[in-house]
C-alpha cells in the first residue's frame, strides 16, 4: 500500500515493514492504533504489557482464551515481557487483514506450543480441555476429551504418523475451512473485525473496562 503520513514515532519504522501492512491507504487506522497504543502505555515507557494487551483483545476482539492470548503475546513479542508499537501494529494487522494462507500459518504456530512443527495430542489437550462441556457428569471428562482428540486426529493426521504436521493441518483446512480454529479461537469473528475497522475509521467508539481507547468525536 502507499505509505501513509507518519507520526514521529512511526517514522522509526522501515519502509519494508510499513509496506507489509494492509491497513487503509489514508493512514487513519495506523494513526488511531498508535493513539490507542500510547494511551495503553502511558506508564510503561511506550511498551505494552500483557495485562493491557489481554484487556485490549478481550474488549475489542472478544478474544478471551487466556492460553491462546498468552501464546499470541509470546509469538508477537518474541518472548519479551512487553510489546513495542511495531509489534502491536503487526499483531492487529494479522487479526484484521491476514490472508487465508497467513491465517493457517499463524494459527498453527499458536497451537504448536512446543514449536517443533507438529501438533501433539498433549498440546491439543491443553487447548481443548477447558472448553469441553461435559454433558454427563458421571462420565470421566478426561476420557471423553481423549476420545474427542482421537477423532480430530483421524481427521487431521493425513499420513497417520501420530502427529499433525503443518501440511496435515493446511490440507485439512483447505478441504474444510470451518476447521481452521477447531482447537481454539485465535482470530476474531467476522462481525468483530468489521466493528473494529469501523472504530478505527472513526465510525464508532469503544470503551474499555479501564478507559476509553478512543474519544468520541
50-57: long-range pairs with CB below 8 Å, 24+: 50/81, 50/82, 52/210, 53/83, 53/88, 55/208, 55/209, 55/210, 56/208, 56/213
- What is the structure's pLDDT at 131? 64
CATH number corresponding to 13-98+189-200: 1.10.238.10
- Dihedral (CA of 18, 96, 49, 204) sign: positive
Average pLDDT value for residue range 112-137: 80
C-alpha cell at 115: 514449536
Instruction: For residues 167 and 157, give the distance between their C-alpha atoms in angstroms, rounded to a whole number.
Output: 9
| Cα–Cα–Cα angle for 83, 85, 87, rounded to 5 degrees | 55
pLDDT tens sequence across 153-170: 999 999 999 999 999 999
- What is the structure's pLDDT at 209? 42
Is residue 90 helix, strand or coil? Answer: helix
- What is the structure's pLDDT at 177? 94
pLDDT above 90 for 4: no
pTM, whole model, 2 decimals? 0.83
- What is the structure's pLDDT at 153? 93
Instruction: For residues 70 and 80, give the distance between their C-alpha atoms in angstroms, rounded to a whole number.
Output: 12
Question: For domain 114-179, which CATH number applies: 2.30.110.10, 1.10.238.10, 3.30.70.2860, 3.40.50.800?
Answer: 1.10.238.10
Q: By percentage, how much of the chain surpasses pLDDT 70?
A: 80
Where along the chain do the CATH 1.10.238.10 domains lie? 13-98+189-200, 114-179
How big is the chain by its Cα radius of gyration, in Å?
19
pLDDT tens sequence across 161-211: 999 999 999 999 999 999 999 999 999 999 999 999 998 887 765 544 444
pLDDT tens sequence across 25-67: 788 899 899 999 998 887 767 899 999 999 999 999 999 999 9
pLDDT above 90 for 113: yes
DSSP for residue 207: B
- What is the structure's pLDDT at 3? 45
- What is the structure's pLDDT at 125? 86
Query: Considering the chain, what is the average pLDDT of its residues?
Result: 84
- What is the structure's pLDDT at 7? 53
pLDDT confidence bin for 19, thresholds 50/70/90: confident
pLDDT tens sequence across 74-89: 999 998 899 999 999 9
Chain Cα centroid distance, residue 46: 21
Amino acid at each position: 500500500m502507499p505509505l501513509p503520513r507518519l507520526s514521529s514515532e512511526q517514522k522509526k519504522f522501515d519502509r519494508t515493514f510499513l509496506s507489509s501492512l494492509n491497513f487503509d491507504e489514508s493512514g487513519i487506522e495506523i494513526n488511531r492504533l498508535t493513539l490507542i497504543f500510547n494511551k495503553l502505555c502511558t506508564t510503561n515507557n511506550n511498551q505494552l504489557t500483557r495485562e493491557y494487551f489481554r484487556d485490549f483483545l478481550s474488549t475489542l476482539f472478544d478474544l478471551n482464551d487466556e492460553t491462546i492470548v498468552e501464546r499470541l503475546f509470546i509469538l508477537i513479542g518474541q518472548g519479551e515481557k512487553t510489546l513495542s508499537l511495531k509489534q502491536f501494529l503487526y499483531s492487529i494487522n494479522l487479526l484484521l487483514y491476514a490472508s487465508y494462507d497467513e491465517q493457517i500459518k499463524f494459527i498453527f504456530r499458536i497451537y504448536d506450543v512446543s514449536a517443533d512443527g507438529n501438533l501433539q495430542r498433549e498440546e491439543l489437550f491443553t487447548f481443548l480441555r477447558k472448553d469441553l462441556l461435559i454433558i454427563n457428569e458421571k462420565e470421566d471428562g478426561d476420557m471423553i476429551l481423549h476420545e474427542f482428540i482421537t477423532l480430530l486426529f483421524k481427521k487431521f493426521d493425513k499420513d497417520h504418523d501420530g502427529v499433525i504436521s503443518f501440511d496435515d493441518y493446511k490440507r485439512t483446512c483447505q478441504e474444510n475451512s470451518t476447521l481452521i480454529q477447531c482447537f481454539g479461537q485465535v482470530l476474531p469473528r467476522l462481525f468483530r473485525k468489521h466493528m473494529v475497522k469501523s472504530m478505527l475509521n472513526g465510525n464508532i467508539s469503544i470503551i474499555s473496562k479501564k478507559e476509553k481507547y478512543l474519544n468520541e468525536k
